[in-house]
């Protein structure tokens, strides 16, 4: 007779009290439900951040459907091309030739060649053991004026290594050349959104007379290549760390990972490390007044709590990479956070997970991908404040904060902005059936 050893069995439920949850996966993995919430960015949205570039996908038509529709919805079909792979291409063993000739045909038909091509190979290339070096080498010989970025759409690999998103955030910066470091410039890479002008990083750099370069702000190919001028390279978004750290090493620049946080001590430590590096490389050392920043955060949270009161709050992981950190901040300031929608827990939130487990054991964790969520009741009596699109959809709520992936929030200012966004959501209803179905929050949408 088999007997389970070690951690207890994962929950097969759709929701579980945090006191009963396992780290880092609280729910039983398996068949997944895909909700109609599409505000999160995918590889098409992120790839479009490279100016004057074209994306080319080489895959079967079934897989092609989603990326084609993404490009079309964001009105970027003019920067998107594809090569359809058919069964005969697999049986003939010539997928390399199909890829090379298909891409060549696309580029030869263009009146104006792109500065770069984000070429996405797929699962089929892995299955057949395609020679990717041959593919890229041949294309680079045929089109020496074009920079080819090695990108992947291979979701079968995302459980065993870097995800397609992580690999893209590395490949898209391969085109940033080595340049002389400018001591009066700092570069932020790896994010889909520019930082808010009032974000702590922006204010610190401005206070020290240092320019900030960010990938999402680039409008031209020259702007994009100028990202390499930063004397420091920062990354604030977890999915970007894998690639940006490698690019910093390639460019010979010091790297600093500064993920968004809702913890006062962590933010203070992050800003201290930033100032130390700036002092070494950029002659900048004037930081923010931490006591004043914290006092303003406390005032903003207190004001928000006076208005929101005991209204139940639901948080989701799509709003910010640190949903448990946000839940802790709000709970310790009197807010009634009742649930957090997530499917796994980031290693960065391990400490706060166990803190909540001990101090707020009745906090409910709710899956977003369990198949049962498809038929889970979405109507609730009374008002609920949802922080994030998925929390809004699963609670059937019209009072919600409409933001994904942390937006441009960072630092103490990010905490105050979150409190402000909560107040706006509490006071003004939105139409989730219109907003959350649009792909890529912040992008153009033709629907």
In eight-state DSSP terms, residue 254 is: -
Q: Buried (b) or exposed (e) across 289-325, using 16+ Cβ within 10 A?
A: eeeebbeebeebbeebbeebeebbbbbbbbbbbbbbb
Give the whole-angstrom CA distance, residue 69 versus residue 207: 43
What pLDDT is recorded for position 21? 97
Q: 28: which residues sit within 8 A by CB, 6+ positions away?
A: 9, 10, 11, 12, 370
pLDDT of the residue at 68: 94
Which domains, and CATH codes, for the chain? 51-171 (3.40.50.1980), 182-288 (3.40.50.1980), 304-435 (3.40.50)
The predicted pLDDT at position 93 comes to 75
pLDDT at 280 (0 to 100): 82
Q: What is the pTM of this model?
A: 0.94
Query: 315: which residues sit within 8 A by CB, 6+ positions away?
Result: 323, 326, 327, 330, 337, 339, 340, 341, 387, 388, 391
Residues contacting residue 342 through CB under 8 Å, at least 6 positions apart: 26, 316, 317, 323, 324, 365, 366, 367, 368
Q: Sheet containing 147-153: give its strands across.
A: 80-84, 53-59, 116-122, 147-153
CA 406/CA 240 separation, integer angstroms: 13
Q: Find out whether 49 and 216 touch, Cβ atoms under 8 Å.
A: yes
β-pair partners for 440: none
Which pair of tokens denotes residue 399? 């009072």
Spatial CA neighbour of 345 closest among 377, 367, 374: 367
Q: What is the pLDDT along the chain (447 residues), one digit of tens a residue?
A: 555 554 545 556 899 999 999 999 999 999 999 999 999 999 999 999 999 999 999 999 888 999 999 999 999 999 999 999 998 888 877 899 999 999 999 999 999 999 999 999 998 888 888 999 999 999 999 999 999 999 999 877 666 789 999 999 999 999 999 999 999 999 999 999 999 999 999 999 999 999 999 999 999 999 999 999 999 999 999 999 999 999 999 999 999 999 999 999 999 999 999 999 998 866 568 899 999 999 999 999 999 999 999 999 999 999 999 999 999 999 999 999 999 999 999 999 999 999 999 999 999 999 999 999 999 888 777 899 999 999 999 999 999 999 999 999 999 999 999 999 999 999 999 999 899 999 999 999 987
The pLDDT value recorded for residue 26 is 96
Helix axes 164-171 and 238-251, enclosed angle (nearest 10): 30
CA dihedral 256, 260, 263, 269 (to 10 degrees): 20
Q: Residue written as tokens 């068949």?
A: 31
């Amino acid at each position: 007779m088999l007997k389970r050893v070690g951690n207890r069995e994962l929950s097969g439920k759709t929701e579980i009290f945090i006191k009963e949850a396992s780290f880092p996966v609280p729910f039983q993995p398996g068949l997944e439900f895909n909700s109609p919430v599409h505000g999160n960015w995918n590889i098409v949205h992120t790839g479009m951040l490279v100016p004057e570039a074209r994306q080319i996908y080489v895959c079967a038509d079934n897989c092609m459907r989603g990326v084609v529709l993404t490009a079309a919805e964001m009105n970027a079909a003019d920067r998107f091309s594809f090569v359809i792979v058919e069964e005969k291409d697999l049986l003939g063993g010539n997928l390399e030739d199909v890829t090379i000739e298909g891409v060549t045909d696309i580029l030869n038909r263009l009146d104006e060649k792109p500065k770069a091509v984000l070429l996405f190979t797929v699962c089929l290339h892995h299955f057949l053991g395609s020679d990717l070096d041959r593919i890229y080498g041949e294309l680079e010989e045929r089109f020496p004026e074009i920079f080819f970025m090695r990108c992947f759409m291979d979701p079968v690999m995302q459980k065993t290594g870097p995800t397609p998103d992580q690999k893209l955030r590395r490949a898209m910066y391969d085109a940033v050349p080595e340049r002389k470091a400018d001591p009066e410039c700092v570069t932020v890479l790896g994010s889909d959104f520019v930082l808010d002008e009032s974000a702590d990083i922006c204010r610190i750099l401005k206070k020290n007379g240092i320019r900030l370069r960010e990938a999402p702000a680039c409008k031209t190919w020259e702007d994009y290549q100028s990202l390499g001028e930063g004397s420091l390279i920062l990354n604030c978004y977890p999915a970007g760390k894998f690639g940006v750290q490698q690019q910093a090493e390639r460019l010979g620049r010091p790297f600093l990972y500064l993920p968004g946080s809702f913890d006062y001590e962590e933010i203070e430590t992050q800003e201290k490390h930033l100032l130390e590096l700036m002092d070494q490389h950029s002659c900048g050392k004037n930081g923010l007044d931490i006591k004043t920043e914290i006092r303003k955060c406390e005032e903003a949270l207190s004001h928000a709590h006076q208005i929101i009161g005991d209204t139940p709050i639901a948080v989701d992981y799509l709003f910010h990479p640190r949903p448990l950190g946000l839940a802790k901040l709000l709970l310790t300031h009197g807010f009634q956070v009742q649930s957090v929608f997530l499917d796994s827990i980031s290693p960065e939130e391990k400490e706060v997970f166990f803190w909540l487990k001990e101090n707020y054991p009745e906090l409910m964790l709710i899956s977003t991908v369990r198949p049962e969520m498809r038929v889970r009741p979405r109507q609730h009596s009374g008002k609920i404040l949802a922080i994030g699109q998925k929390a809004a959809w699963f609670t059937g709520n019209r009072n919600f904060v409409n933001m994904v992936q942390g937006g441009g929030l960072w630092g103490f200012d990010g905490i105050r902005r979150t409190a402000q966004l909560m107040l706006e959501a509490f006071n003004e209803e939105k139409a989730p059936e219109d907003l959350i179905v649009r792909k890529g929050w912040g992008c153009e949408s033709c629907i």
